[in-house]
Amino acid sequence: MTTTIPLNSGGHIPQLGFGTSLSRTPVESVKAALQTGYRHVDTAQMYGNETEVGEGIRASGVPREEVFITTKLNNGHHAPADVHSTFEESLQRLGFDTVELFLVHWPMPHLEIDYVDTWKAMVELRDSGRAKSIGVSNFEPEHLDRIIEATGVTPAVNQIEVHPYFANNALREYCQKLGIVVEAWSPLGKGDELGEPTILRLAEELGRTPAQVVLRWHIQRGDVVIPKSDHPERMRENADVFSFELSDAHMAAIDGLDRGEDGRRSDHPNEVGKD
């Protein structure tokens, strides 16, 4: 159903994942997504739903070894000792001994705790085998440079904001140069992009939904995507993005929607956590 992308730490990550950050029914939604064919589930300490995500995985009947699980370190847990203790708590909530990927959710450069020390603790978790791969989320080039220079360990993944109105190309290209897989959170933006005339035109031309067109754009760019939905029919639609292709002209039309920094929906990573 889905393609996979190799990680610099070994193994592969499914290119299509299922996001749970806004789920109102995480147990049932994760169960339905896995039964639909998804094999990658994304959660985080910040979401407060790791217990339900674990329950949904078990309820799905899909063997644990077939599911790629990502969770993320919360912003208040950057102290090295907290990295270790809260990761253990995440495993307990999920009900599993390991996760495939553990990410630092935000760099938080304004904390007294240096995110380099946070990253060193993440490396220790990877070396323990309990987090099979480690990565980051919302890290800019200067953040990546610091942790790599300090440890010699390059993140396997950088989960960042990417969607047609904010293509984030400079950061994507920087990650690709370093061998870091780019994962797009909020790949459909806030939903208003699905009503964009260019997207609607392409969807009508291709006989696809607007969401399928946008997700296919991400897939062809080589990004991992984690669309979210609590509706099984929408899950199935979002998963059906490997049975068609966008032409070069289609891709260029969507590329042309990029608004640069004006299209960013979140705060810049250097501003998150700033007093």
Catalytic site residues?
47
| Pairing of the two strands 4-6 and 131-137 | unpaired
Residue written as tokens 């990410």? 103
Please state, in angstroms and rounded to a whole number, the distance separating the CA atoms of residues 191 and 85: 37
Three-state DSSP state, 109: coil
Three-state DSSP state, 269: coil
The separation between CA 244 and the C-alpha centre of its own chain, rounded to angstroms, equals 23
Greatest alpha-carbon span in the chain? 54
Question: Which residue(s) pair with 69 in the sheet?
Answer: 41
Q: Which residues contact 146 (CB under 8 A, 6 or more apart)?
A: 115, 116
